[in-house]
Structure 1
Amino acid sequence: MVAHWFAGEGDAFRLLGTRCTACGAVFFPREDVLCRNPGCQGTDLDEVPLSPRGRVWSYTDGRYRPPAPYVSDPELPWRPYTLIAVELAAERMVVLGQGAPGVTVADLEVGMEVAAVPGVLSEDAGTTWTTWHWRPVGVTA
């Protein structure tokens, strides 16, 4: 898990961003040093939970094993995965993430509502690396 990128479980699961107190710009991934807005000199940033739902802005499928630092077990067969760019209207930003397991490009349409849900990036004998996934609203695991 990347520290402080998301929190909560179930319906309380949220991606975490930061908001500049000077100009109000919101960032994800989070920013902890200074405002990324080139027109702002702000350095006071507050952690904010992002909208739990958004609308599909674009999507595609990954049909190749990506290179390092992406974690994948070369002993296991490669399985395509779905990438979804989601527009969070309240924050006026697009956040990229994988589709939840079982979600394919055939399940998606531009403009459909999706929700951020907890997911697993990788596991080994002693560690589970967690992440977020996007799942169409109304579809369960």
Structure 2
Amino acid sequence: MVAGWFAGDGEDFRLLGTRCSACTSVFFPREDSHCRNPGCPGGDLEEVPLSRRGHVWSFTDGRYRPPSPYVSDPELPWEPYTLIAVELPSERLVVLGQAAPGVTVADLAVGMEVEVVPGVLHEDAGTTWTTWQWRPTEVTA
């Protein structure tokens, strides 16, 4: 995915955002040039790890093959995937991401707790593209 948006492995895996020193607003994806808060006079931006857990704000399934630049093999049948919008209350953010493999809309409910985990977006012979995914907390690795 995008360099600098997440770091770590396993229990140390975190999405990375930025926080403004003047207004304490947190941003994801990260912001490295200026505070996005229109009411802020501006401050220094520092990288901050986001909360690992949040609550389902909304969810849906993707039943169509997205257009480029999304990478998928047109020779293989399309497999639907689940998207989850997760509220991180401490940061006052909602972050969208795919669900971990095997998690469907039938497994989710608004308000349930989920955690961020590393996942694979795409693999080919030489590269594995890593991303973040959301998984209900009662599911064990």
Same structural fold, with TM-score higher than 0.5 when normalized by the shorter chain: yes
Which residue number in structure 1 is paired with residue 99 of structure 2?
Answer: 99
Cα deviation, residue 140, structure 1: 2.6
Which residue number in structure 1 is paired with residue 57 of structure 2?
Answer: 57
Counterpart CA distance in 2 for 1:74 and 1:129 is: 18
Contact 1:33 1:43 in 2 (8 A): no
Q: TM-score, normalising length from structure 1?
A: 0.97
Which residue number in structure 1 is paired with residue 113 of structure 2?
Answer: 113
Which residue number in structure 2 is paired with residue 5 of structure 1?
Answer: 5
Contact 2:23 2:43 in 1 (8 A): no
Counterpart CA distance in 1 for 2:44 and 2:73 is: 41
Amino acid across the alignment from 2:99: G
Amino acid across the alignment from 2:14: R
Which residue number in structure 2 is paired with residue 15 of structure 1?
Answer: 15
After superposition, what is the alpha-carbon deviation per residue over 1:4-49, rounded to whole angstroms, capped at 9, x for unaligned?
1011111111100000011100000000000000112315100000
Amino acid across the alignment from 1:50: L
Where does 1:61-140 land on structure 2 (aligned, <5 Å)?
61-140=61-140
Cα deviation, residue 96, structure 1: 0.3
Counterpart CA distance in 2 for 1:65 and 1:41 is: 43
Counterpart CA distance in 2 for 1:42 and 1:129 is: 34
Unaligned segments of structure 2, at least 5 residues: none
Contact 2:63 2:79 in 1 (8 A): yes
Q: TM-score, normalising length from structure 2?
A: 0.97
Cα deviation, residue 125, structure 1: 1.2
For structure 1, which segment, 66-75 or 27-36, has the greater mean C-alpha deviation from structure 2 after superposition?
A: 66-75
Unaligned segments of structure 1, at least 5 residues: none
Counterpart CA distance in 2 for 1:137 and 1:110 is: 14
Amino acid across the alignment from 2:59: Y
Q: In angstroms, what is the RMSD of aligned CA positions? A: 0.9
Cα deviation, residue 73, structure 1: 1.0
The count of residues paired between Structure 1 and Structure 2 equals 141
Which residue number in structure 1 is paired with residue 37 of structure 2?
Answer: 37
